[in-house]
Amino acid sequence: MIAPFYKYGMFGDEMSLVVAFVTGIAFGFVLERAGFGNARVLAAQFYFRELRVFKVMFTAIITAMLGVYFLGRFGVLDVSLIYLTPTFLGPQIIGGLILGAGFIIGGYCPGTSCVSAATGRVDGMVFLAGMMGGLVGFAEIYPYIETYTKLTSLGQVTLAGVFDISYGFLVFAVVLMAFVAFLAAEWAEKLIGHKLPGPGDLTEPVRKLTPVRGFAFGLTGLGVIALLAGSPYRTAFARIDTKQLALDAGSAAAGVEAAELADWIVQGRNDYLLIDVRDATAYAAYHIPGAMNVPLASLTPDLARRNERIVFYSDSEMQAAQAWFLLRSLGFPSAGMLAGGLDAWKDSVLYPLAPAEGSAPADQIAFAKRSAVAKFFGGAPRGAGSVSLETAAPALPQLKLPATTVAPDASRPVKKRKKEGC
Amino acid sequence: MNPYLAGFLLGLVLLAAFVFMGRGLGASGAFTTALSTGVHAVAPAHAEGNAFYAGYLGDGTTNPLKDWLVFEVLGVFAGGFLSGALANRLKVRIEKGPRISNPRRLVFAAIGGALMGIGAKLALGCTSGQALSGGALLNVGSWAFMLCVFGGAYGLAWFFRRAWL
């Protein structure tokens, strides 16, 4: 499981903008080549003269759909991580009708109008200006209609989920439907548009396997395989790459140092989940601020998204290591644990030990910082300054855990996920 | 280009977006982000007080224009221009049917654009973000939306035949 690359952290936000630009270039290029920069080509669709829009769109949909299905089925792509625009049935039906009206009146949709404007069409440019006007209008009335735009919410659902039929069957049905629809489209072009089927059409009057026919049969064949092959989502069955796991367990790769974790919390970072795998009593007695309590016994793969960074901790490393091992084997590559567990947290974060007298200034500065962090978490530095090593040993202050001052829910910052939809 | 080949290539571009980013293609969102940023620059209080604009401005930690869709749409302009230039199709002109005057066609284009803006925001996406991307993911709302787009356009086609035929 390696894709979606971005969501598995293979590249960052800056790089994603480069990917966006390159993807956009390819998108614009293909739209232009398909003839979609021309409003007359697009509008001809709605008079059954030339059904290019329909053919291009549905070929694209089934190509991408089959790609997603098979990459998911082979375990390359985590389908559950692809953003699904939430369904609000009513608003989307009304929005679709309005958009359809805009399409036949203006001749473009937003994407094609960009291509149209970029190739010098004045009507495309005016269409874009009109769209900006429409957006302003929508924005200004939005406060009054906001509640209505949220009606009939179904959440992020696929047709397979809502009708409770298998994803593979649906893929097959859509491919078959598209195949029949392409034949119907060419028939309509012939009947209404008086456009005789020629080379590159499915119904070209030659008795041989043209490339287009081969392609259509190929896609249909893949649809049949999808029908039989089951769900593209990852199952909960663990697949263990023992070698990799052993390597990770051996190296410190999976661990987060207590001091580092403390810094994350102080900085208010919210790109990870901190999970306390001890039982509820121990959690209630003390937990690291912001930690959620998920006792080892109730750990399931539904805990978090697979690409989420997770830090487990327990008293020593024991239980956390078990949790880490379990989730890693279930395919959570970013699971990790607090090195040394709560014991290390106590020693190095809550009650840091002062450096010996006369130690390097850098150590003193580091200790001053650690002391501040300790106070932040309700602890206190140990052996402050004057205590020499020999006397410090017996007089080691009791490592009493401070009360967790911040309520876990309040302290856990709300994830500011970037919106992904249009 | 053969429409089936164009569709296949478009499908591959869409699939690449899924595999690289875990999200589909889009268009209308970029314009909304640009608009929200513009409004915020002119009237910050107004933009922040409006939930619609505010939703596209983010939390203020990053420039809202450093957004995936904004860069993608810039790419669409560049890609469209590039393809047109390579095929010698760059020309200032107005696409219209033979029975409609230029000013009238442009007024229609503006009205159509405005409707498109409203419809796309109501539906949380346009033909790219909803119909195409959501269609490939078998998203419930996307399929309902797609049928309605075709329904709306076919339903009104007769009334606007003078604009195109």
Q: Do A313 and A368 sit in the same domain of this protein?
A: no
Residue closest to A27 by CA, chosen among B32, B136, B92, B81: B81
B83 touches chain A (CB under 8 A): yes
The 3-state secondary structure of chain A, one letter per residue? CCECCHHHCCCCHHHHHHHHHHHHHHHHHHHHHCCCCCHHHHHHHHHCCCCHHHHHHHHHHHHHHHHHHHHHHCCCECHHHCCCCCEEHHHHHHHHHHHHHHHHHHCCCHHHHHHHHHCCEHHHHHHHHHHHHHHHHHHHHHHHHHHHHCCCEEECCEHHHHHCCCHHHHHHHHHHHHHHHHHHHHHHHHHCCCCCCCCCCCCCCCCCCCHHHHHHHHHHHHHHHHHHHCCCCCCCCCCCCHHHHHHHHHCHHHEECHHHHHHHHHHCCCCEEEEECCCHHHHHHCCCCCCEECCHHHCCHHHCCCCCEEEEECCCCHHHHHHHHHHHHCCCCCEEEECCHHHHHHHHHHCCECCCCCCCHHHHHHHHHHHHHHHHCCCCCECCCCCCHHHHCCCCCCCCCCCCCCCHHHHCCCCCCCCCCC
Question: Taking chain A (422 residues) in consecutive chunks of 10 residues, what is each chunk's mean pLDDT?
Answer: 82 91 97 94 91 94 96 89 92 96 95 95 96 95 90 89 90 95 92 86 88 92 90 66 71 77 87 90 88 86 80 88 84 84 88 81 85 85 56 48 53 50 64
Residue A196, token pair as written in the block: 């005789």
User: Given B17, B128, B134, which is nearest A110 (Cβ)?
Assistant: B128
Sort out which chain A residues have CB atoms less than 8 A from B134's CB and list them: 84-85
CA distance A47 to chain B (A): 7
Query: What Å distances lie between residue B55 and A269, A419, B64, CA to CA?
Result: 22, 8, 10
Predicted local distance difference test score (pLDDT) of residue A384: 53
- Does A237 fall in a domain? no
Q: Do A64 and A136 sit in the same domain of this protein?
A: yes
Q: Do A273 and A293 sit in the same domain of this protein?
A: yes
Residue closest to A335 by CA, chosen among A295, A308, A366, A298: A308
Predicted local distance difference test score (pLDDT) of residue A392: 43
Percent of chain B with pLDDT over 70: 100
Residue closest to A136 by CA, chosen among B129, B67, B42, B52: B52
Cβ-based burial of A298 (10 A; exposed 0-12, middle 13-18, buried ≥19): exposed
Please say which residue of A194, A229, A264 terminates a domain.
Answer: A229
CA distance B134 to chain A (A): 7
Predicted local distance difference test score (pLDDT) of residue A407: 45
User: Given A3, A84, A91, which is nearest B139 (Cβ)?
Assistant: A84
Percent of chain B with pLDDT over 90: 81
Global pTM? 0.78
Please say which residue of A229, A262, A278 terminates a domain.
Answer: A229
Sort out which chain B residues have CB atoms less than 8 A from A67's CB and list them: 11-12, 15, 18
- Does A328 fall in a domain? yes
Q: Do A139 and A262 sit in the same domain of this protein?
A: no
Q: Do A325 and A385 sit in the same domain of this protein?
A: no
Average pLDDT, chain B: 93
Q: Do A93 and A131 sit in the same domain of this protein?
A: yes
Q: Do A338 and A357 sit in the same domain of this protein?
A: no
A43 touches chain B (CB under 8 A): yes
A313 touches chain B (CB under 8 A): no
Look at chain A and report how many structural domains it folds into: 3
Cβ within 8 Å, pair A34-B3: yes
Predicted local distance difference test score (pLDDT) of residue A241: 67
Cβ within 8 Å, pair A105-B95: no
Task: Write out pLDDT tens, residues B113-153.
Answer: 999 999 999 999 999 999 999 999 999 999 999 999 999 99
Q: Do A138 and A187 sit in the same domain of this protein?
A: yes
Bridge partners (DSSP) listed for residue B11? none
Q: Do A46 and A127 sit in the same domain of this protein?
A: yes
Q: How many CB pairs under 8 A join A and B?
A: 554
Q: Do A300 and A361 sit in the same domain of this protein?
A: no
Domain range enclosing A92? 6-229
Please say which residue of A177, A201, A229 terminates a domain.
Answer: A229
Predicted local distance difference test score (pLDDT) of residue A179: 93
- Does A246 fall in a domain? yes
Query: Is-contact A74 B128, C-beta < 8 A?
Result: no
Cβ within 8 Å, pair A122-B92: yes
Predicted local distance difference test score (pLDDT) of residue A409: 45
Q: List the CATH number of the domain containing A318.
A: 3.40.250.10
Closest residue, chain B, to A148 (C-alpha): B122
User: Given A107, A135, A420, which is nearest B112 (Cβ)?
Assistant: A107
- Does A23 fall in a domain? yes
Q: Do A288 and A383 sit in the same domain of this protein?
A: no
Q: Do A212 and A89 sit in the same domain of this protein?
A: yes
Cβ within 8 Å, pair A28-B76: yes
Predicted local distance difference test score (pLDDT) of residue A253: 60
- Does A48 fall in a domain? yes
Residue A72, token pair as written in the block: 């998911």
- Does A420 fall in a domain? no
- Does A81 fall in a domain? yes
Query: Is-contact A103 B108, C-beta < 8 A?
Result: no
- Does A419 fall in a domain? no
User: Given A22, A56, A85, which is nearest B125 (Cβ)?
Assistant: A85
Cβ within 8 Å, pair B3-A17: no
Predicted local distance difference test score (pLDDT) of residue A389: 45
Query: ipTM of the predicted structure?
Result: 0.96
